[in-house]
Amino acid sequence: MAAMVKLRIIFSENDSRRLILPNGMPESVSELVQQIKGQCGVNGDFRLQFMDAEFGNEFTNLESMSDIQDKSTIKVIFSSVAPVEPGEPLLPLYSSAATSRTLDDSSSLSSPGNSFDTDILSSPESTSSRATAWPDVFPIPRFSYDTQLQLDRANATFKETGALLNPDHKIKSAILDGLAETIVQYKVYLSDREFDEVAEALVTTHPCLKEPGSVTGYGGWKTSLKYKLANYRTKLRRLGCPEVTVNSLKHKPDGKCTPAYGVKKPKKAEVNYCPTYPAGETAETLEEIRVDLLSEVKKKNNDHRVAAMMEKTLALRRQEVIREAPMIADFKMRWPALFHVCETAAVEVRRERILKGLCVYLNEDPEKLVKDYLDVDKSIATAIAETVFGICVIRSEGAEPGDDPQDVMIVLEGVEVMGELGNVAFAVAMLLGLVYSLNLSYPPELRYTFEVLQKILMELDAHKLSNKVQVLKTLLSR
């Protein structure tokens, strides 16, 4: 039997803990990550560093388990999103009060000093507000005390003799319940790949649960998990969870009332896709706030109040977008503050050229994204009315390449939804925000450009890339 191993885990300057591994050192770094998440009760994405004696005990990224031994010191480096402790309420990913994170943090498309209000920058405190997107490595939770005790003993036996555990109905049910409760902290509808990731993480953390005769070792767990999550969604539907009730049969068109038709779920790594109303609020009270916003947005020096009211009404706005899919012009009349920009930044010609060059590299037409017009062109109004999705730039006749344009606007369904954006790079950042806010699909003629912006630059849902984008990512990483 492998000797017990102890590791010192540093989470912050004033928080270090002892990690005890009774079955010896894990075989891989990913298994060690799961042990840290399980024993220390930490969720979220992070990487590990070890104290490297060869470099004066400075911390170095841990890439191989051969770099550490018993009583080594490990440092946890969290991603930009703060971890969530067990029992702690999930916090909003973005805070409009502090504007703690903007699109510029991920894509470097906007410029410092920009102050704007879009749904992607704020979310109200509610039971469905989430802190992170789907993790790279799914964190297996600690199960109930008796279940965890049996798993620990079975893992020790597996380490010593290779014997697998044949869990009875009670243990299996407790495991599936725990997994389902952890899954819904991220999303309620999973792809087949994500079910694979959860089941694989389970048998990696608890190798005693591997299934003999299965090619993957977890095929049965994956199937059981699909049924468990479907039943869990039924429970959430009865409780009125909007992410689930939006797909109830009564909300589907006549003649197409089947569970599989038109399932509405996140497709672009949205964290808060269809949140619930804030505590103590109803559709009626939030509608009153929306009506008040129509007058508040017209007042000067009122940005903080407008931002707070927009944050409060996010759930109402998202449910309206998801359930009703309104026309852009109608939605702009109901929610003018969503399309309001307080400041703009200086022109970033180089960023604009990079964005257009990206389209060209991906064999897509940059004019499908950015359309340039001269101020003397009398057909501008007609051209804007015919634009379904894009950015229109109005330049002065005879202007130099580095001169500020007269206007940079976002046009959706023939409607100018945002104007005076200052530069194309900032307009693209705002456009990405509107795609989320209005639940829009990326235009097929720019699918690869937006895939790069979302999955490479913003690192959202970056697990699966098209071949063309994967080649670009490989070239950029060299």
pLDDT at 250 (0 to 100): 63
**If residue 39 lies in a helix (H) or strand (E), which one and from where to where?**
helix 29-40
* pLDDT for the residue numbered 117: 37
Low-confidence ranges of the chain (pLDDT < 50): 80-128, 342-343, 345-347
- Domain ranges for the chain, please list them: 5-78, 145-244, 283-339, 364-477
Domain 5-78 has CATH 3.40.50.1970: no
Whole-number pLDDT of residue 307: 84
Counting Cα atoms < 13 Å in the Cβ hemisphere of 209 gives 24
pTM: 0.52
User: Which backbone phi and psi does 361 adopt, to 5 degrees?
Assistant: -60, -35
The pLDDT score that the predictor gives to residue 17 is 86
Q: How many CB atoms lie within 10 A of CB 392?
A: 21
Which pLDDT score is estimated for 122? Answer: 34
pLDDT tens per residue across span 207-216: 999 998 888 8
Backbone angles phi, psi at 402, to 5 degrees: -90, 0
Nearest to 133 by CA among 175, 90, 102, 95: 90
> How high is the pLDDT of residue 184?
87
DSSP calls for 81-120: SPP--TTPPPPPS--TTTT---HHHHH--S-TT--B--GG
Structure tokens at 183: 């899954």
Q: Which tokens is 185 given?
A: 């902290």
Task: Retrieve residue 2's tokens.
Answer: 């492998």
Q: State pLDDT tens for residues 74-101.
A: 999 876 434 434 333 333 332 333 333 3
> Is the separation of the CB atoms in 364 and 372 below 8 Å?
no
Give the C-alpha separation, 282 to 69, whole Å.
56
Exposure string over 99-138, b if 16+ CB within 10 A, otherwise e = eeebbeebbebbbeebebbbbbbbbbebebbbbbbbbebb
Tell me the C-alpha to C-alpha distance, in Å, between residue 21 and each of 4, 5, 10, 49, 86. Answer: 6, 5, 16, 18, 21
Q: State pLDDT tens for residues 353-375.
A: 888 888 888 889 888 999 988 88
Q: What is the CA radius of gyration of the chain?
A: 25
| CA–CA distances in Å: residue 254 to residues 242, 248, 326, 329 | 21, 13, 19, 27
Res 347: pLDDT: 42
